[in-house]
Structure 1
């Protein structure tokens, strides 16, 4: 695997690159070139999902990138209308067919959908898929503490990762503390707050002091906090810029300044306790 960036180790013993390419809202003809550009820049982790409707194009980019499959880390996700056991297992195979892969490195339940109360059944299906080798590691997205605790209580198996909305305006400290106590890695989606945080005066000031971009400052903050982070871009220059973090360092004072940006109303995406979109 690429040695240009740090890796984190799951509680199942497998490793994941700490910085990956997100592909939410990356569609059509832009997708495969973005994947190729990311791999050329040094990325080795690619994150997609059924609901992004780009697995076929992501698979095309992977096939064309020139990197051996074993050197890439590919994540996809189970959508909300496939939580029953057999449908969940079939959904992964459908994703594998679109991606043209024999396995994914990480398969995630995309949302808990507590209104339907079937995420435990979906988790049991993912455990089977892991045992069969089609998903090398398994995890979840957007799970709250009570959802994670239910998985532990009922199956004894915890996700290796919980992918959640996390950025300087929405830092989810209590949920991250639960993760830390249970050896669950935290992965940040919308790590830049969908661009809203880039203009923040604190971020702008730190970027000026370090001669870095605001995006680089925020991504480096995530990295130093020990999180996996998956910024999205379709522009080769921005993809490369986002990857150029390894000589950047935020001192304790800068980290403390960013910590003050957390807001009670900082959530941008859906509330997992209420979100229940089923169609895809």
Structure 2
């Protein structure tokens, strides 16, 4: 069987990071410290997760040099206006124990708030210009809103669009658009809350590679050109997830996974989500 190759490797965003969604307290501290110990160097958090201080503590206790880490956070909706965004990011930096993060995203477009994408992005660009964040980007934006963001601050200032992607939600239109613009695609909820793990097609592919289903799904995402940020509280799972980078799926296997698309979305909060493509 022929091999498929990485065609859209993320350029700015590290291809593999550790997520912190739904983790708090000592659990997130232990998860991040373990992840850094086994080789992760990118950490994804957000203001709404309520765990930035714990993430900062874990990073501080890990003794990994700050320059070797890529830290992402996301601005929450209540901080979108010009008088709140930068103060909220400075508060995040204090919690994360750093002078600047590597990437700051607008978490949700939140059209019901009545704040234009242009205003949102200008406020975020100001944070970049002040040196509070190395890169800026968006999360959960559809094609139209992404284009509005590009028009507002220039394509060079959109490092990524972090979106829900899994074998059951492949978002081809949006992904193709982003990749055509050379905007890195970051996949979250890649395992669809674990719902893909018992899929018979994925399980068969996993047997072919003597791998876990989770590793196959992560390998698929990487070969589609997405950056991934899976989370785990267990050392063995964190290590196993990293090994997905060593799995090379065949063209036929990628095609089988593409056929699993069924537009099954796990995260779609009312008043925050856009009209999806």
Q: TM-score under structure 2 normalisation? A: 0.91
In the TM superposition, what are the counterparts of 1:117-128 in structure 2 within 5 Å?
117-118=114-115, 119-128=117-126
Shift of 1:7: 7.2
CA contact (8 A) 1:7 1:17 kept: no
Unaligned stretches of 5+ residues in structure 2 = 1-7
- Residue 137 of structure 1 corresponds to 135
What does residue 217 of structure 2 align with? Answer: 218
Residue of structure 2 equivalent to 1:275: 271
In structure 2, the partner of 1:30 is 27
Q: Once the 2 structures are TM-superposed, how far is the Cα of residue 17 of structure 1 from its aligned partner? A: 1.8
Residue-by-residue CA offset, 1:2-61 (whole Å, 9 max, x unaligned): xxxx97323xxxxx3201000000111111111111111111000000110000000011
Residue 124 (structure 1) shift:
0.6
- Secondary structure of the residue aligned to 2:225 is coil
Equivalent in 59, 62, 71 of residue 74 of structure 1: 71
Determine the C-alpha separation between the residues in 2 that align with 1:8 and 1:42. Answer: 19
**2:168 aligned with 1:172, yes or no?**
no
Q: Is the 8 A contact 1:21 1:230 kept in 2?
A: yes
**Does the 8 A contact of 1:130 with 1:137 survive in 2?**
yes
Runs of 4+ in 1 over 6 A off after TM superposition: none
Question: In proportion to residue count, which structure has more helix?
Answer: 2
In structure 2, what is the Cα distance between the partners aligned to 1:247 and 1:184? Answer: 24
**Contact 1:104-1:136 within 8 A present in 2 as well:** yes
Report if the CA contact (8 A) 2:215-2:244 is conserved.
Answer: yes
Q: Secondary structure at the match of 1:138?
A: strand
Provide the residue aligned with 1:94 in structure 2. Answer: 91
Aligned-residue Cα RMSD (Å) equals 1.6
- Looking at structure 1, the residues matched to 97 and 64 of structure 2 have their Cα atoms a distance apart, in angstroms, of 15
Asked if 1:85 corresponds to 2:64, the answer is no
Change (3 A) 1:248 1:91: same
Q: Tell me which residue corresponds to 1:13.
A: none
Q: Which residue of 2 aligns with 1:49?
A: 46
Contact 2:20 2:231 in 1 (8 A): yes
Asked whether the equivalents of residues 10 and 185 of structure 2 are also in contact (C-alpha less than 8 Å), the reply is no
The equivalent of 2:159 in structure 1 is 160
Corresponding residue number in structure 1 for 2:17: 20
- In the TM superposition, residue 156 of structure 1 has moved relative to its aligned partner by 2.9
For 2:217 and 2:188, the matched residues in 1 are separated by 13
The whole-number CA distance in structure 2 between the counterparts of 1:155 and 1:226 is 24
1:150 aligns with one of 127, 134, 148:
148
Deviations 1:87-145 (A, max 9, x none): 01111001001111110000000000011231432211111111121100000100011
Is the CA contact 2:125–2:153 (under 8 Å) kept in the aligned structure 1? no
Higher relative contact order (CA 8 A, sep 6+): 2
Instruction: State which of 4, 7, 10 in structure 2 corresponds to 1:8.
Output: 10
- CA shift, 1:209, in A, is 1.3
Q: Distance in 1 between matches of 2:246 and 2:181?
A: 31
Tell me the matched-pair count. 264
